[in-house]
Structure 1
Amino acid sequence: METMIDITPKDPIPEPSVGPLHQECGKEGLIVCDREKIKGEQGVSLDELVGIFTRMGRDVEEIGVANAFSLAERVVSVIEDAKPLLKKMI
């Protein structure tokens, strides 16, 4: 599983005077420096979203296109399960 970091920069984007490997990098505080840790919040798990949509695909195969009403009911059920993850994405 990959780690993904979503960072929203300040506007206008400041110009750092040193690079991430420079010993003064941490003092400047504009970029993430080498071997530095950042705090944040856990976001949406893409693995969980893939699992949900895989289940939805299997349901579509199981039901078939002819039984559209049942398909719609199952899709609603899957979307309800995915709501917490989808809300985190917004």
Structure 2
Amino acid sequence: MPARIFQNPMNAMQSGRALTSKWILQFEPAEARKADPLTGWAGSGDTQRQVELEFSDMESAKAYADKHGIRYSVTETPHKTLKIQAYADNFH
């Protein structure tokens, strides 16, 4: 079953960088979700979708996947540069 290794993204609602240094190994869905006829909730029989492993760096996530024979793809987070600007700069 293929997996995806990615860095925890920055929360769009906050400017802090907490928990963004973690790398996550997440399995790709094996089957599509379908609506339950009784409740209408979406679900599937794929239990691997619930598994999410956290690692401190990308190399340890890759090593884990290689050790257990898991095919993976790595999605690297693009480096974000902030433009530091003061409020007073709006009035020049």
TM-score (norm 1): 0.23
Larger radius of gyration: 1
TM-score (norm 2): 0.23
The structure carrying a bigger strand percent of its residues is 2
